[in-house]
Amino acid sequence: MARDRKPSRRRARLLTASTAALTLAGVALTEIPAAAASPAKGHDVSAHQKNVDWPSAKAKGATFVYVKATESTTYRNPYFGQQYDGARAAGIIRGAYHFALPDKSSGATQAAYFVAHGGDWKADGWTLPPALDIEYNPYDKKHGCYGLTKAGMVGWIKDFSDEVKRETGRRPVIYTTAHWWNTCTGDSTALASTHALWIARHESADTGSLPAGWSYWTFWQYDNSGSLPGDQNLFHGTASRLRKFTRGY
Active site residues: 44, 135
Strand partners for 175: 133, 198
Exposed, middle or buried, 70 (CB in 10 Å: 0-12/13-18/19+)?
Answer: buried
Distance between CA atoms of residues 162 and 165, nearest Å: 5
With CA atoms as reference, report the closest residue to 172 among 233, 110, 232: 110
Report how far Cα 29 is from the mean position of its chain's Cα atoms. Answer: 18
Rg (CA), the chain: 16
Dihedral class, residue 36 (left if φ above 0, else alpha if ψ from -120 to 50, else beta): beta
Q: What is the largest CA-CA distance in the chain?
A: 46
Cβ-proximal residues to 208 (8 Å cutoff; 6+ apart), any chain = 16, 17, 18, 19, 20, 178, 201
